[in-house]
Amino acid sequence: MEDIKSESLQEEGVSLLGDEGSPTSLNQELGNRHDSRGSKRNSLLIVLLAISVVANILLLLPRRQSLGLIHRSKYAGLVNDFELPYAWDSDRSNPNDTERNKLWYEDEEADQGIMAVDNDEAISFGLPNSQPWSWDAKVKSIYITNGHHNLHCLRNIYISIDEHERGVPQSLGRHHILHCLGALYDDIKCNADDTPRYTDKHGRKPGEGQIRKCRDWSKLKAFVNEREGCFKYIKHDKEDIRIIERMKYCSNNSPYLPKIRKYFGFSSDWTPWPYVEQDTYLTKEHPS
């Protein structure tokens, strides 16, 4: 009886290793137990299958995260789920100067990344301290998203190139442009985008039309709008303008408008929008 038991275990051991050439004499000897061994084998297969399924899920999880399919960004919880093809030429490279300039000059997206973040939230995000936000200085601090800062930089570089092209004086300092080039360079390196763009045999327009997964910029905008910073980069060429002049562009229904009107001495019907160009502005005090 003990012998049969040990041989039966051996038989299972053999089949685990995938060797089907088990001694037939044993099968004949244990003929009446064949069915029960068959069902044992089936349960073993089910267990192995279950292990395999779990292992595959475990293997797949980190892989999907590294592909950015599940990974959520740390602050706005953004996911790379927005399909957008690479485009060799875009509206921003439109050869029509009028149409292209309109996009680069009039697009104020770069301004819109300024946020007034609750100090408690900033701490929960693990962010470094930041300067107080003028209209609620004890509660909120000013941050700008890196994405918007990048757009701001790109716009500055565009303006510089356009002014060079038109032969007019540069409105932005060279140091500002160089800062922007360096910042964008570093950001590209930091993101280390590993997407292989396909090529054709002429080597033209690699990646043209190829679908990639992006984060949805409108969701970043929504995140920023919930922390409205009220910034508009007015008079970008004026180095002596006081920053608070650029901080009064809250939405027209902002609870902070009374404070803003009071600070600037505006009448009670003043609203930030529609924007009206100012002739004068508060200037920074220069220490004598």
The residues that touch ligand NAG, with contacts defined as CB under 6 A, are 96, 98-99
| CB-nearest residue to ligand NAG | 96
Alpha-carbon distance of 265 to 262, in angstroms, equals: 5
CB of 94 to ligand NAG, least distance (A): 8
For tokens 């890196």, the residue is: 146
Rounded to whole angstroms, how far apart are CA atoms 148 and 107?
Answer: 12
Cβ nearer to ligand NAG, comparing 39 with 96: 96
Which helix (H) or strand (E) segment holds residue 16: the answer is: helix 2-16
CB of 66 to ligand NAG, least distance (A): 44
Q: Residue 212: CB partners within 8 Å, gap ≥ 6?
A: 83, 84, 85, 86, 195
Closest separation between CB of residue 159 and ligand NAG, Å?
19
| 3-class DSSP state of 117 | strand
Min CB(110)–ligand NAG separation in Å: 23
Nearer to ligand NAG among residue 43 and residue 98 (C-beta)? 98
The overall longest dimension of the chain from CA atoms, in Å, is 109
Q: Which is nearer to ligand NAG, 25 or 96 (CB)?
A: 96
The DSSP secondary structure of 224-250, one letter per residue, reads: HHTTB------STT-TTB-GGGGG---
Minimal distance, residue 101 CB to ligand NAG, in Å? 10
What are phi and psi for residue 132, nearest 5 degrees? -65, 145
Closer CB to ligand NAG, 97 or 109, in the complex: 97
Give the type of residue at 233: Y
Buried b (16+ CB within 10 A) or exposed e, 213-246: eebeeebbbebbeebbbbbbebebeeeebeeebb
Kindly state the smallest distance separating residue 130's Cβ from ligand NAG, in Å.
41
Within 8 A by CB and 6+ apart from 247, the residues are 133, 134, 135, 229, 230, 231
Q: Closer to ligand NAG by CB, 43 or 96: give it.
A: 96
Please identify, using beta-carbon distances, which residue of 105 and 273 lies nearer to ligand NAG.
105
Q: Which is nearer to ligand NAG, 96 or 267 (CB)?
A: 96
Closest distance of CB 156 from ligand NAG, Å: 24
91 or 240, CB closer to ligand NAG? 91
- Angle between helices 146-166 and 174-191 in degrees, nearest 10: 130
Smallest distance, ligand NAG to C-beta of residue 97, A? 7
Sign of CA dihedral 150, 156, 161, 162: positive
